[in-house]
């Protein structure tokens, strides 16, 4: 029987690459993004390359009640794979950054991810099968001065995913937090031209490679997945230095690249 996958932020970057992998595996796709024209282009491209059914929903995932609205739009259709991928970053000192943008980020990364997971999970558990991939980040492993809200919200996504993955043991449903390091997508443009993410010339992965790693990890039911050996090492550093030192290291990297 055809399985159904729902992907948020599917019009660009990692979400788009994950949608390609799902199409290759003949999933029926529900693709969600805020950008209508990019989403329409993705639908046309995937439909011409693969024989798959694609439903697109143009949604702002930072709005109140959006997870319920999505479920109503798809008539509560059973979802076999849920990929909470949409997100963005914002660079700057917390005292100066734009609250409107930050509150939207918190809504997308935390509230919508959590609510959509809750709404989809019940059916998955009843049917005894489901795969959930939550797009966290290497940022989840330590505090991130000058990108405080982004790092903290990705930390939430990792902790939340690990906790429910544990609760769901034995149900047939798995939850994977994908924690990529710097990856070449449109992400860097939206963070700010000042961000260190824009100055990184080494250790920058391709979206295709990161998506493939995450996709495989999700299907294998891994609780968390860090693509790349160097990134795996970086995720351990905050455990071997003090918490203050971890924050200072990130601060220095961001400051160094700011000037
Ligand atoms: N690239 C990296 O270095 C990196 C590293 C670790 C984790 N990540 C995470 O990976 C995920 C995907 O990012 P990406 O790198 O693939 O960047 P991307 O190319 O910018 O893709 C993100 C997609 O999410 C959409 N989106 C943003 N806000 C939305 C909203 N309110 N409602 C609906 N859709 C929304 C974006 O639409 P618009 O562009 O139209 O706003 C875009 O299509 C994010 O959660 C990001 O935090 C990225």
Q: Tens digits of per-residue pLDDT, 209-244?
A: 999 999 999 999 999 999 999 999 999 999 999 999
Mean pLDDT confidence for 41-45: 97
Q: How much is the pLDDT for 192? A: 74
- Listing DSSP states for the chain in one string gives ---EEEEESTTSHHHHHHHHHHHHTT-EEEEEES-HHHHHHHHHHHHHHS---EEEEE--TTSTTHHHHHHHHTTT---SEEEE-------S-TTTS-HHHHHHHHIIIIIIHHHHHHHHHHHHHHHT-EEEEEE--GGGGS--TTSHHHHHHHHHHHHHHHHHHHHTTTTTEEEEEE---SEESTHHHHH-TTSGGGT--SSPEEHHHHHHHHHHHHHTT-SEE--SHHHHHHHHHHHHS-HHHHHHHHHHHHHHHH-
Q: Distance between CA atoms of 68 and 19, rounded to whole angstroms? A: 22
* Contact predicate 43/32, CB 8 Å: no
Contacts of 219 by beta carbon, 8 Å cutoff, 6+ apart = 131
Classified as helix, coil or strand, 193 is coil
Mean pLDDT confidence for 95-115: 98
Q: How much is the pLDDT for 257? A: 62
Ligand 1, residue 62: give the atom nearest the CA.
31
Query: Could you read off the pLDDT of 63-76 as tens digits, one per residue?
Result: 999 999 999 999 99
Length of the chain: 259
* Contact predicate 16/42, CB 8 Å: yes
Query: Could you read off the pLDDT of 21-41 as tens digits, one per residue?
Result: 999 999 999 999 999 999 999
Average pLDDT, the chain: 95
Q: Atom 25 of ligand 1 has which residue's CA nearest to it? A: 9
Q: How much is the pLDDT for 175? A: 98
pLDDT at 62 over 80: yes
Considering 27, 50, 129, 150, which one is annotated as catalytic? 150
* Contact predicate 119/72, CB 8 Å: no
> In the annotation, is 150 catalytic?
yes
Query: Could you read off the pLDDT of 160-211 as tens digits, one per residue?
Result: 999 999 999 999 999 999 999 999 999 988 887 776 666 666 779 999 999 9
Ligand 1 in reach of 14 Cβ (< 6 A): yes
Give the torsion sign (CA, 48, 51, 53, 58): negative
Pairing mode, strands 205-206 and 130-135: unpaired
**For residue 255, what pLDDT band results from cuts at 50, 70 and 90?**
confident
Ligand 1 in reach of 142 Cβ (< 6 A): no
pTM of the model: 0.97
* Contact predicate 198/258, CB 8 Å: no
Query: Could you read off the pLDDT of 135-155 as tens digits, one per residue?
Result: 999 999 999 999 999 999 999
Q: How much is the pLDDT for 37? A: 97
pLDDT at 114 over 60: yes
pLDDT at 259 over 60: no
Mean pLDDT confidence for 118-136: 98
Ligand 1, residue 63: give the atom nearest the CA.
31
* Contact predicate 173/124, CB 8 Å: yes
Q: How much is the pLDDT for 87? A: 98
Classified as helix, coil or strand, 79 is coil
- How many A from CA of 33 to the centre of ligand 1? 9
* Contact predicate 162/224, CB 8 Å: yes
**Domains of the chain: which residue ranges?**
4-258
Q: How much is the pLDDT for 45? A: 96
* Contact predicate 5/31, CB 8 Å: no
Q: How much is the pLDDT for 204? A: 92
Q: How much is the pLDDT for 254? A: 86
Q: Which of 86, 204, 209 to mutate to test the pocket of ligand 1 (most atoms within 8 A of CB)?
A: 86
Could you say which of 3.90.1150.10, 3.40.50.720, 3.30.300.350, 1.10.10.10 is the CATH number of the domain covering 4-258? 3.40.50.720
Ligand 1, residue 189: give the atom nearest the CA.
20
């Amino acid at each position: 029987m055809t399985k159904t996958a729902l992907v948020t932020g599917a019009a660009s970057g990692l979400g788009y690459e994950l949608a390609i992998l799902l199409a290759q595996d003949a999933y029926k796709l529900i693709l969600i993004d805020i950008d209508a024209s990019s989403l329409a282009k993705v639908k046309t491209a995937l439909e011409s390359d693969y024989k798959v059914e694609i439903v697109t929903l143009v949604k702002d995932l930072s709005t109140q009640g959006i997870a319920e609205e999505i479920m109503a739009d798809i008539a509560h259709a059973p979802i076999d794979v849920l990929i909470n991928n949409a997100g963005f970053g914002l660079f700057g000192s917390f005292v100066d950054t734009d609250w409107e943008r930050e509150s939207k980020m918190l809504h997308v990364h935390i509230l919508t991810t959590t609510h959509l997971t809750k709404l989809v999970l019940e059916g998955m558990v009843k049917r005894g099968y489901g795969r959930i991939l939550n797009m966290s980040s290497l940022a989840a492993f330590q505090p991130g001065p000058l990108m405080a809200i982004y790092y903290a919200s990705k930390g939430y996504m990792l902790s939340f995913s690990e906790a429910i993955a544990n609760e769901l043991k034995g149900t047939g449903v798995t939850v994977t937090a994908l924690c990529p390091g710097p990856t070449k997508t449109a992400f860097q443009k939206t963070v700010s031209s000042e961000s260190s993410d824009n100055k990184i010339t080494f250790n920058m992965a391709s979206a295709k490679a990161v998506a493939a790693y995450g996709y495989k990890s999700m299907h294998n039911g891994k609780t968390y997945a860090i693509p790349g050996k160097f990134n795996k090492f970086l995720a351990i550093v905050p455990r071997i230095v003090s918490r203050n030192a971890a924050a200072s290291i990130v601060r220095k990297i961001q400051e160094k690249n700011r000037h």
